[in-house]
Amino acid sequence: MVLELKLRKVGNSVGVLLPQKALTRLNVHEGEIVVLTETTDGGFRLTAHAPDFERKMKVVEGLSRRYRNALRELAK
């Protein structure tokens, strides 16, 4: 599914309105939290919020900092 979304001014911010079809696919409703994550190809991915997602991301960030030199060498 490819959807073109228009950015709209909301107060001092800019927002995106998701059509009902996208909300249904994400299984989210008004007022719920969604997560926007950066992908390795420079894009972004929008997913429904998972309660343990934030905890897992903190663990990954801690490991990335702790082993950054080893990870950098492995990436070569």
- Tens-digit pLDDT profile for residues 25-69: 999 999 898 989 899 999 999 998 877 777 888 888 899 999 999
How many separate domains does the chain show?
1
Answer yes or no: is 1 within a domain. no
Give the C-alpha separation, 70 to 34, whole Å: 32
Answer yes or no: is 2 within a domain. no
Three-state secondary-structure class, residue 41: coil
Q: Which two tokens stand for residue 55?
A: 């905890």
- Half-sphere exposure (CA, 13 Å, Cβ side) for 66? 6
Answer yes or no: is 21 within a domain. yes
Owning domain of residue 71: 7-75
Answer yes or no: is 13 within a domain. yes
Q: What are the angstrom distances between the C-alpha of 67 and each of 7, 23, 63?
A: 39, 38, 6
Residue 69: the pLDDT is: 92
Instruction: Give pTM, 2 decimals.
Output: 0.57
Please state at what angle helix 53-66 crosses helix 68-75, rounded to 10 degrees: 80
